[in-house]
Structure 1
Amino acid sequence: MSTPSIQNNPLIGIWKLISATAIHADGTVAPEVYGKNPVGYITYTLDGHMMVMFARSDRSPLSQEVQSPLSSQMQSLPVEELAQAFTTFNAYAGTYTLNGNTVNHQIEIASIPNRVGTTLVRTFTLSESQMTLLTTPVLSDGVEQVFELVWERV
């Protein structure tokens, strides 16, 4: 696998998140796993780098004004409030390679530290100005699921 040139790489650019859905192994669908109107962007560059971030659009604001995540204000917030902020946001960045309709994200930095140094495999389909990414099956709360994220080219 190698980084494709711009001529044969349909992913290059910036994409805005339209929807996030969970598809259970039994075929049932859980729409809106990141809320009714999730927000997010994924970017693929010509030189083989990528970054993605997305969140629920209905995230609660923090109870205090926080100027920096390293500030004492952040450290003094209730653990439950920090957990809520963390679990409604996802981000990672690194490099990527293409192989047919599969894109492999090699993670260098991530909001979930355990993902650093791993490869996340996504299959993709393209139609007009939209891209759909499907995760490999994951076990979540004892249920096998595939997550489907639909993006629109910016």
Structure 2
Amino acid sequence: MSIPSPQNNPLIGIWKLISATAIHADGTVTPGVYGTCPVGYITYTSDGHIMVMFSRSNRPPLSQEVKSPLSSEMQSLPVEELAQAFTTFNAYAGTYTLSGNTVTHQIEIASIPNRIGTTLVRTFTLNENQVKLLTPPVLSDGVEKVFELVWERI
């Protein structure tokens, strides 16, 4: 697998998240797994780097102003509040390679530490100015699901 030349790489650019859906093994579809209007961006560069971040759109603000995630204000927030902020946001960055309609993300930094050093494989389909990324089947809450994220080029 490799990075095709910029002229042959349809993923290069910045894409805005349009929807995130779960497709269960029995065919049941759960729309809006990140809320009805998720917020997010994915960037593929011509030199093989990727950055992804997305979240629920209806995240409540923290109960007090926090100027930095390393500040004492952040450390004094209730654990439940921090957990909610963490579980409604996802981000990672690293490099990627392409092979046909499969893109493999090699994770170098991530909001979920266990993902660092791993790879995430996605199949993709392009339709005009949108790309649909599908995960392989994963076990989520005891149910096998495929997650479908639709992104629009900006």
Scaled by the length of structure 1, the TM-score of the pair is 0.99
1:107 match: 107
Q: Partner amino acid for 2:27?
A: G
In 2, Cα distance between the equivalents of 1:23 and 1:125? 16
1:90 match: 90
Regions of 4+ moved over 2 Å: none
Gaps of 5+ in 2: none
2:61 match: 61
Aligned residues: 154
Report the Cα offset of residue 76 of structure 1. 0.3
Q: Tell me the secondary structure at the aligned position of residue 83 of structure 1.
A: helix
1:46 match: 46
Asked if residue 81 in structure 1 is aligned to residue 78 in structure 2, the reply is no
1:24 match: 24
Deviation per CA, 1:89-114, whole angstroms, max 9, x where unpaired? 00000000000000000000000000
Gaps of 5+ in 1: none
In 1, Cα distance between the equivalents of 2:148 and 2:42? 14
In 2, Cα distance between the equivalents of 1:61 and 1:51? 24
Q: Partner amino acid for 1:26?
A: D
What fraction of aligned residue pairs are identical, expressed as a percent? 85
Q: Partner amino acid for 2:46?
A: L
Q: Partner amino acid for 1:38?
A: P
Asked if residue 141 in structure 1 is aligned to residue 131 in structure 2, the reply is no
In 2, Cα distance between the equivalents of 1:79 and 1:4? 45
Asked if residue 124 in structure 1 is aligned to residue 124 in structure 2, the reply is yes
Q: Tell me the secondary structure at the aligned position of residue 145 of structure 1.
A: strand
Report the Cα offset of residue 84 of structure 1. 0.2
Scaled by the length of structure 2, the TM-score of the pair is 0.99
In 2, Cα distance between the equivalents of 1:83 and 1:74? 12
Deviation per CA, 1:47-84, whole angstroms, max 9, x where unpaired? 00000000000001000100000000000000000000
Report the Cα offset of residue 7 of structure 1. 1.4
